[in-house]
Structure 1
Amino acid sequence: MSLYIGRETSKLWKRISAETTTEVNLLAENWKYVLGGLICQYMHGLAARGVHYIHRPGPTLQDTGFLLLPELGEERAYVSETVFTFIFLSFILWTFHPFVFKTKKIYTVLIWCRVLSFLVACQFLRVLTFYSTQLPGPNYHCREGSRLATLPRPDNPLEFLLIMPRGVLYGCGDLIFSSHMIFSLVFVRTYQKYGTRRFIKQCAWLTVVIQSLLIIASRKHYTVDVVVAWYTVNLVVFFVDRKLADMPERNIGAPILPLSKDVRMKEENTKLVNGNPGDPVDWRLRNQANGKVNEDSNGLHVDVLDGV
């Protein structure tokens, strides 16, 4: 038993080491995209903090979702955050599964480059929207009488630039459209395209629907914030994904690194010239079986007689 465990541990370590080398090489090629995406996440956080300074509490607007869904109450507002945390952490673990499991369908660095591009496009539209019109926040800490409804002016630039986790949880004013829905829908759509488990895909979509209802029931957003997120994020991901290059899908036994652009173009040109999507060697063998051999030196064709 101990021998079996030791052998499997050794295989796992070799797999992790090989995958780490592969991902480090990919990160060296794509670090600008990853860094740019992370910087944009920080800028989005600053924008959400900035609108909190100009937020003015007021009466909660009339909302159809508030009328249809019972209010969870401030003591149970954590439920929607718990569901969102589950979606967030589950997706992160899935993107790193090639380091552990033998079934390797994605490259971790490439999938995150794609995800960050979706997030940046959606969050850019979100910032434009909630700065266009500031609505009175429906959340408990954003209502009239709460000291957190409006932030006091910062004493120095560092106070504004330093984003604390408490400020993320207790923000006000950044309503249309929901940031939680942006992350959840981007993650689920990504798994829908690159994941392999149909049951998990169905559960993921169901979880996002439940989260949408919980966000409204906990009064974190108006219903319009969730509705706009549903069609905006899906449209943005659809059009941005069409503009991006296809991500290579890896299979067991495939090369560790994706083929370079030049190599792929040469292979495609070869296939077009031969008129055959298969291996060029197989094409030459089939030419000989058909009774003709191409002579590159003089461009002539020599018939091969049967029985010779």
Structure 2
Amino acid sequence: MTLYIGREASKLWKRICAEITTEINLLAENWRYILAGLICQYIHGLAARGVHYLHRPGPTLQDVGFFLLPELGRDKAYISETVFTFAFASFVLWTFHPFILKTKKIYTVLVWCRVLAFLVASQILRIITFYSTQLPGPNYHCREGSKLARLPHPHSAAEVLLINFPRGVLYGCGDLIFSSHMIFTLVFVLTYQKYGTKRFIKQFAWLIAVVQSFLIVASRKHYTVDVVVAWYTVNLVVFFIDKKLPELPDRTGGSSLFLPVSTKEKDARSKEENHKLLNGNGGDPADWRPRTQVNGKIMEDGNAVLSDNAMNGA
């Protein structure tokens, strides 16, 4: 029993090391995209912090969702954040599952390059939208009388640039249309819908997205329009950008590790294949034998294949 556990642990460790090597090679080629995506996340947070300085509390706007869904209240507002945190953490863990499990279909670095592209495009549209018109926030800390509804004039640039994370993110106001929580949730669900393998998890993920939508409105973090716009905007963004991005290699068909091929290697390989074809040699080493041609027939290993006319003495 101890020997079996040790052998399996050794296999797991080898798998993790091989996966790390592969992902490091991918990261070396794609680190610019990852870094750019992370920088854009900071810019998005900075923009949300900036619009809070422009926010002016006012009466809550008339909203269909507020009429249909009962208000959770301050003491139950955490439910929405709990569901979102669960969805966020679950997706992050899934993207790293190739390091542990044998059934690998994705590469972690390539998936995150794709996810960050979807997030950045959606967040750019979001920034343009909520800076175009500032609505009075429906959240409890954004209403008239709350100390957090208006931010005092910053005393230094650092006060703005540091964005007071995470408090500044959790208690922001003015960045309404459209919901950032729904951007992340829908991008994660759509990514798993395409690259995930478990059908029941896909169905459960869509259920989480729907429940999250209702909880956001019920907790009065956003108006209903913020959630509705997020649903069709994010889906359209993912649909069009996904067509422009190169498709991820599927790992389920082969067991060999994926190592990115550089342009020079591709060119060298193409020249080698063309050279083989011009010399009459295919990919099979058994065909790499010297050949000569006599009377329209091919000689192999020094033995000529005589034509029928020669055999008949013609």
**TM superposition score category, shorter chain reference:** 0.7 to 0.9
Residue 118 to residue 297, structure 1, CA distance change in 2 (3 Å):
farther
Q: Which has the larger radius of gyration?
A: 2
Paired amino acid for 1:171:
G
The corresponding residue for 1:225 is 226
The corresponding residue for 2:246 is 245
User: Could you list the runs of 4 or more consecutive aligned residues of structure 1 that deviate by over 4 angstroms after TM superposition?
Assistant: 258-267, 295-298, 300-306
The corresponding residue for 2:63 is 63
Q: Percent identity?
A: 71
Measured in 1, the distance between the counterparts of 2:155 and 2:292 equals 80
The corresponding residue for 2:209 is 208
Unaligned 5+ runs, structure 1: 275-279, 286-294
RMSD: 2.6
The corresponding residue for 2:86 is 86
The corresponding residue for 2:45 is 45
Aligned-partner SS, 1:137: coil
Aligned-partner SS, 2:152: coil
Measured in 2, the distance between the counterparts of 1:154 and 1:5 equals 59
Q: Is 1:256 aligned with 2:281?
A: no
Q: Is the 8 A contact 1:57 1:137 kept in 2?
A: yes
Q: Is the 8 A contact 2:25 2:260 kept in 1?
A: no
* Worse-matched range after superposition: 14-23 or 254-263: 254-263
Aligned-partner SS, 1:67: helix
Distance apart, 1:19 and its partner CA: 0.7
Number of residue pairs the alignment of both structures matches? 287
Measured in 1, the distance between the counterparts of 2:50 and 2:105 equals 40
Aligned-partner SS, 1:245: coil
Measured in 1, the distance between the counterparts of 2:6 and 2:40 equals 44
Paired amino acid for 2:75:
E
Aligned-partner SS, 1:92: helix
Distance apart, 1:255 and its partner CA: 3.6
Residue 240 to residue 223, structure 1, CA distance change in 2 (3 Å):
same
Measured in 1, the distance between the counterparts of 2:215 and 2:92 equals 22
CA deviations 1:120-169 (Å, max 9, x no partner) are: 00000000000000000000000000000011111111111112201110
Q: Is 1:172 aligned with 2:159?
A: no
CA deviations 1:22-45 (Å, max 9, x no partner) are: 111111111100000000000000
The corresponding residue for 1:182 is 183
Q: Is the 8 A contact 1:248 1:258 kept in 2?
A: no
Residue 33 to residue 147, structure 1, CA distance change in 2 (3 Å):
same
Measured in 1, the distance between the counterparts of 2:182 and 2:200 equals 21
* Worse-matched range after superposition: 153-162 or 35-44: 153-162
